[in-house]
Amino acid sequence: MNTNSNLYTVIYTAIIVTVVAAVLAFVSQSLKDKQEANEKAETISQMLTAGGFGSKAEFQALGNAKVLETYGNEIGEAFTVNAEGAKVADLDLEHKEIFSRSQLKAQNYKVKDGEGYEIPVFKFKNGITVVPVYGAGLWGPIWGYIAFEADGKTIHGAYFDHESETAGLGAKIKDDPDFQAEFVGEQAFFGQSPVFAIVKGGAPKEEGKSVVDNQVDAITGATMTSNGLDAAINTWLGAYAAYFGTVKEEVEE
């Protein structure tokens, strides 16, 4: 048989590609549930890390079941809010319903438009509120969770993750605990613009002196990722401004 004829070549490649596609589709479908369970536990451990319930490494060592259990014990309320800051719907606590990355991505378009969004709020029993942020880094999506104290403006902790930022530079938003620690104690200025800022060299932390403002230092050598994170935080916290506005009134009463 002449394996070099055009017809043979075309048919051969068509068959190979079809077979490979079928194998991949089958495997992807049959492993989907397990992968989603892992993703969910990962997301929950990120929220718990932001909320200061432990470090990311600790949660990793605990395993999925324990992470879900901790979340079940600590979570008080979880619901979605709209642009007016009003509660829209409860999230199912029994099944530990959270917002997956694809859900955040879907909301991100509406958040950017500034209307029609329904974004999640996770209130823990100890008064800490965790909200997600989502945006574009340099190479791919970046997202994270910011935890607020009961006063609804002071940041209790933050955790960020990314899909494909540069290792050693942009990837520091996830890998560098010092960067995430910078957020602790800072405040978000809801109702102002910008709500929060990641700036170049403008937010010095002098030794023994903590300046409480709405700024943290950007990452050296990762300007694009820092800008992306800045935009993600501002857009999303801006979208939560109405909600946290109502929280503040409650506290003042």
Binding site for another protein (CB under 8 A): 3-4, 8-9, 12-13, 16-17, 20, 23-24, 27-28, 31, 34-35, 38, 41-42, 60, 63-64, 164, 167-168
- Closest separation between CB of residue 34 and another protein, Å? 4
Q: Which is closer to another protein, CB of 79 or CB of 139?
A: 139
Of the candidates 114, 121, 182, which has an alpha carbon nearest to the alpha carbon of residue 152?
A: 121
Give the residue with the Cβ less far from another protein, 161 or 182.
Answer: 161
Name the H helices within the chain.
6-50, 56-62, 64-74, 101-113, 172-175, 177-182, 223-252
In this structure, the number of other CB atoms found within 10 A of the CB of residue 54 comes to 15
- The residue among 100 and 192 lying less far from another protein, judged by its C-beta, is 100
Query: What is the nearest approach in angstroms of another protein to the Cβ of residue 65?
Result: 9
Provide, rounded to whole angstroms, the least separation between the CB of residue 218 and another protein: 21
First to last CA, the chain: 87
Q: Mind giving me the DSSP string for 40-103?
A: HHHHHHHHHHHTTSS-HHHHHHH-HHHHHHHHHHHEEEEEEE-TTS-EEEE--TTTT----HHH
Alpha-carbon distances, residue 227 vs 75, 87, 101, 136 (angstroms):
32, 31, 20, 9
Beta carbon of residue 17, minimum distance to another protein (angstroms, whole number): 6
The smaller minimum CB distance to another protein, of residues 68 and 91, is found at 68
Identify the residue whose tokens are 């068959």: 15
Q: Which is nearer to another protein, 66 or 87 (CB)?
A: 66
* Nearest distance, CB of residue 137 and another protein, angstroms: 13
